[in-house]
Amino acid sequence: MLREARVLMPERQFIYVADDVGFPYGGWEEESLKARILALFARLLETYTPEAVIVACNTAFTLAGADLRAAFPGTRFIGTVPAIKPAAERTRSGVVSVLATPGTIRRAYTRELIATYAQNQHVQLVGSPHLARMAETYIRGEPIDDEAVRAEITPCFIDQNGQRTDIVVLACTHYPFLANVFRRLAPWPVDWLDPAEAIARQARRVVSPLMDAVEPADEDLAVFTSGQPDFATRRLMQGFGLRVT
């Protein structure tokens, strides 16, 4: 998502925030996680005063998006939610799966999206407890087990009365890093729907261009809540063009 946002807003500085202390969010108890998210944003907004915030986590935004907007009315929040509407519009078979964290699957917000946009489709909700950590391992260049990944994605593939899943919504922002692995291990071809580009376009609409910007944007930063990312993580962030603070 950072990549897509940079392409559309090259004149802007970006601050990438990773809550490595709280990761992964999928298994948290809801009220505790909501309190953590609100407290974290209170500190971040005071420190960095951003013009807008992309909440690049389905679990966080489906749980606390409304509370963030209520608590910080002067900040524009661009949320990340499961791409159920575009999936329902694109599916030909009428069978769609949503691959997410257990937390996102539990949300009433997710159920409301289905009720609003996908009443006429069969939507399979698949909550993976392990894929987010696997993705973190993968992007660091460490090996992951094919069979373990296959076990996580297999419930997405439904053959219902001769109609098979043709779209899998990637409803966790870690999952697109594994998209090529998913394609290789899938029992049949599907469209792995990544909403990153659409979210970046929404951010571009919200944040007006700096038409008079003649100097390059300031250096992009990476902030970790632990304050102590390991060497592999620092090297990864440098590869993304981010300076770890």
Task: Kindly state the percentage of the chain with pLDDT values over 90.
Answer: 88
- Of 70, 75, 40, which is closest to residue 57 (Cα–Cα)? 40
Helices (H), the chain: 2-8, 30-48, 58-71, 84-90, 102-106, 108-117, 131-139, 146-153, 179-185, 196-206, 231-239
Q: Has residue 208 got a pLDDT over 90?
A: no
Local confidence band at 115 (pLDDT 50, 70, 90 cut-offs): very high
Q: Is pLDDT at 241 greater than 70 in this prediction?
A: yes
Instruction: Give me 205's structure tokens.
Output: 């609409």
Hey, do 2-80+197-244 and 84-194 end up sharing a CATH topology, with the first three levels equal? yes
CA 65 centroid distance within chain: 14
pLDDT at 27: 78
Note the pLDDT of residue 215. 58
Query: 57 catalytic, yes or no?
Result: yes
Catalytic residue among 2, 9, 54, 57: 57
pLDDT at residue 214 tops 70: no
- Mind listing the pLDDT tens digit for each residue in 148-173? 999 999 999 999 889 999 999 999 99
Query: Mean pLDDT of all residues in the chain?
Result: 93
Helix (H) or strand (E) holding 127: strand 122-127
* Domain 2-80+197-244, second-level architecture: 3-Layer(aba) Sandwich (3.40)
Instruction: Say what the pLDDT of residue 212 is.
Output: 56
Q: State yes or no: pLDDT of 216 exceeds 80.
A: no
For the stretch 38-81, pLDDT in tens is 999 999 999 999 999 999 999 999 999 999 999 999 999 999 99
Indicate which residue of 18, 169, 172, 181 is catalytic. Answer: 172
Separation between Cα atoms, residue 233 and residue 48, nearest integer Å:
22
156 is catalytic: no
| pLDDT bucket at 245, cuts 50 / 70 / 90 | confident
Look at strands 167-171 and 163-164 and give their pairing.
unpaired
Task: Check pLDDT > 80 for residue 217.
Answer: no
| Domain-wise residue ranges, the chain | 2-80+197-244, 84-194
CATH of domain 84-194: 3.40.50.1860
Average the pLDDT over 214-242 and give the result. 87
Question: What's the pLDDT score for residue 160?
Answer: 87
Q: What is the pTM of this model?
A: 0.88
